[in-house]
Amino acid sequence: MLYISSSQRYFLFRGNCDMRKGIDGLCGMVRNHLQKDPLTGDVFIFLNRTKDKIKLLCWDRDGYALYCKRLERGTFELPKNHSETLSSETLHLIMQGIYLESVKRRKRYEKPEHSFAHC
């Protein structure tokens, strides 16, 4: 079962991926194209050219986990920005088939990355 958690980081490969690739081939893409270490526990996301297939690769303490999904109808939508990182919320929306441009988020507090909380 796939569990999308905000405690993990999600990296999107923006190119087209050959969905015949298995774990070893995808690990090579993580190292060579994303310049990341696939053993970190981060989730790496790959889509095919027609955007109707997706694979998520993750190291899970004692082995790799590979999640694959093929849509029978429709496509996966990617964010318009060209960032290689996704939030868990955005990945959840992509997997559910929600139009990303129609999502409007209300203002919420976001902790600055390099600030220290005062007690």
* Segment 78-106 mean pLDDT: 84
Quick check: is 5 in a domain? no
pLDDT band at 117 (very low <50, low <70, confident <90, very high): low
Quick check: is 111 in a domain? no
**Across the beta sheet with 43-47, what order do the strands follow?**
64-70, 53-59, 43-47, 10-16, 85-86
Strand partners, 65: 58
Quick check: is 56 in a domain? yes
The pLDDT, as a whole number, for residue 98 is 81
> What residue numbers bound the domain in which 95 lies?
10-102
Domain count, the chain: 1
Quick check: is 2 in a domain? no
pLDDT band at 104 (very low <50, low <70, confident <90, very high): confident
Strand partners, 58: 43, 65
Quick check: is 92 in a domain? yes
Quick check: is 55 in a domain? yes
pLDDT at residue 103 tops 80? no
* Segment 11-40 mean pLDDT: 95
Q: Is the pTM of this model over 0.85?
A: no
